[in-house]
């Protein structure tokens, strides 16, 4: 109506907090074989538990696109009210997401984007490219004045598009200050993999100025390798933002000086959004009376100066 104030559109935060019709939400993600993904899973579960009116169904985590499709198909069959999907590969899950949407089930796409805009009602993403850019900028700030600085990079699983995005952002940002990555290895997001990759990298490069490690979980291993090699001539930056990494940054007694956040709360956000959408509610602080289609989360840099501010966002690695 005309007399309604612009700011009063949609549901209010009180209305949102109140219990509505119980909704069943299906959640499917990759195998929780990694701290961040573990945090994603437990985040989703915790979010669901915090709502009395959400019944969360969790499919077996899998890195096999086909198996994940089967999980989504099962959700469709079971007639869930919404699906939160963190695809093992965005493009590969697009078909089945479209199928769900066509069956009238809203799909909330988390972290790895589908290849079609019709596949999701809402998309919530971490910013992988932005993560690389943040990391690159930070390293430019720290060592940019040295044109010969040796910058090393320990990536995650190289065959994942998200790794490519991070590395691209990192390279682009470094190019701004005329630096480039002179040594790069890929690990596998695991502690042991990080340790192995790092010890090889350190051995091959006797002098490093800055090192970006994509992931704090494998960072545990990377740090172990650095300590055991007794190296401290460089600064290191992490990624994702684990509690362990933040503790170390706070203590400021190792090479790890910063990390870039890649929120592990995305799936929890997804569950919250799915509930709103399924119950016909909206995001109370936004004026527009419907849940946005696309939310890209921030990738802030955490240093010892601002670590307290981000500490609660950290995940238990």
Q: Which residues, 246 to 285, sit near another protein by CB under 8 A?
A: none
Angle between helices 128-143 and 161-176 (to 10 degrees): 30
Q: In this chain, which of 176, 227, 232, 233 binds another protein, going by CB under 8 A? A: 227
Nearer Cβ to another protein (135/155): 155
Does 61 interact with another protein (rule: CB under 8 A)?
yes
Q: In this chain, which of 63, 284, 290, 303 binds another protein, going by CB under 8 A? A: 63
Provide, rounded to whole angstroms, the least separation between the CB of residue 2 and another protein. Answer: 46
Task: Report how far residue 190's alpha carbon sits from residue 63's, in angstroms, rounded to the nearest whole number.
Answer: 15
Nearest by Cα to 193 from 163, 171, 166: 163
Q: Which stretch binds another protein (CB under 8 A): 89-97, 120-128, 129-137, 261-269?
A: 89-97
Q: Which tokens belong to 262?
A: 């890649």
CB 173 within 8 A of CB 135: yes
Nearer Cβ to another protein (53/95): 95
Q: In this chain, which of 15, 49, 158, 232 binds another protein, going by CB under 8 A? A: 158
Does 139 interact with another protein (rule: CB under 8 A)?
no
Nearer Cβ to another protein (142/168): 168
Provide, rounded to whole angstroms, the least separation between the CB of residue 252 and another protein. Answer: 18
Which residues face 153 on adjacent strands?
Answer: 184, 212
CB 186 within 8 A of CB 166: no
Q: In this chain, which of 23, 71, 86, 240 binds another protein, going by CB under 8 A? A: 71
Q: Which tokens belong to 102?
A: 């066509």
Nearer Cβ to another protein (93/283): 93
Other C-beta atoms lying within 10 Å of the C-beta of residue 57: 16
Does 217 interact with another protein (rule: CB under 8 A)?
yes
Q: In this chain, which of 12, 19, 22, 159 binds another protein, going by CB under 8 A? A: 159
Does 244 interact with another protein (rule: CB under 8 A)?
yes
What distances in angstroms separate CA 156 from CA 33, 200, 314, one per listed residue?
Answer: 13, 15, 19
Provide, rounded to whole angstroms, the least separation between the CB of residue 83 and another protein. Answer: 13
Nearest 5 degrees, angle CA 259-CA 264-CA 266? 130
Nearer Cβ to another protein (31/297): 31
Strand order in the sheet with 294-296: 54-58, 23-28, 82-85, 107-110, 122-125, 294-296
Q: Is the dihedral of CA 90, 92, 98, 104 positive or negative?
A: negative
Which residues in 1-40 contact another protein (CB under 8 A)?
Answer: 31-35, 38
Q: Which stretch binds another protein (CB under 8 A): 56-64, 138-146, 172-180, 259-267?
A: 56-64
Q: In this chain, which of 44, 85, 105, 220 binds another protein, going by CB under 8 A? A: 220
Q: Is the dihedral of CA 171, 177, 180, 184 positive or negative?
A: negative
Instruction: Convert residues 160-199 into a mask of x (bound to another protein by CB under 8 A) and - (unbound).
Output: xx-xx------------------xxxx-xxxxx-xxxx-x
Nearer Cβ to another protein (194/241): 194
Is 269 exposed, middle or buried (CB count within 10 Å of its CB: 0-12, 13-18, 19+)? buried
Nearest 5 degrees, angle CA 206-CA 212-CA 214? 130
Does 204 interact with another protein (rule: CB under 8 A)?
yes
């Amino acid at each position: 109506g005309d007399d309604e104030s612009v700011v009063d559109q949609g549901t209010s935060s009180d209305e949102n907090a109140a219990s509505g019709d119980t909704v069943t939400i299906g959640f499917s993600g990759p195998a929780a074989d990694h701290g961040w993904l573990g945090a994603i899973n437990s985040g989703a579960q915790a979010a669901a538990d915090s709502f009395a009116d959400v019944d969360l169904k969790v499919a077996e985590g899998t890195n096999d696109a086909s198996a994940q499709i089967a999980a989504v198909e099962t959700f469709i069959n079971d007639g869930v009210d919404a699906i939160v999907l963190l695809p093992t590969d965005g493009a590969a899950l697009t078909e089945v997401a479209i199928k769900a949407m066509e069956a009238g089930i809203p799909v909330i796409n988390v972290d790895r984007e589908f290849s079609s805009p019709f596949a999701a009602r809402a998309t919530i993403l971490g910013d992988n490219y932005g993560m690389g850019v943040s990391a690159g900028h930070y390293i430019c700030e720290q060592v940019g004045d040295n044109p010969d600085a040796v910058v090393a990079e320990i990536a995650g699983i190289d065959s994942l598009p998200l790794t490519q995005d991070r590395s691209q952002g990192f390279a682009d940002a470094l190019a701004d200050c005329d630096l480039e990555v002179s040594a790069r290895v890929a690990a596998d997001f695991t502690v042991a993999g990080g340790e192995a990759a790092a010890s090889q990298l350190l051995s091959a490069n006797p002098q490093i100025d800055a090192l970006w490690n994509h992931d704090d979980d494998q960072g545990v291993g990377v740090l172990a390798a650095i300590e055991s090699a007794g190296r401290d001539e460089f600064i290191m930056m992490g990624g994702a933002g684990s509690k362990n990494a933040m503790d170390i940054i706070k203590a400021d007694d190792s090479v790890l000086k910063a990390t870039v956040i890649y929120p592990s709360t995305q799936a929890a956000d997804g569950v919250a959004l799915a509930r709103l959408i399924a119950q016909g509610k909206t995001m109370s602080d936004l004026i527009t009376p419907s849940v946005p289609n696309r939310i890209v989360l921030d990738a802030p840099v955490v240093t010892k100066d601002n670590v307290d501010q981000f500490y609660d966002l950290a995940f238990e690695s």
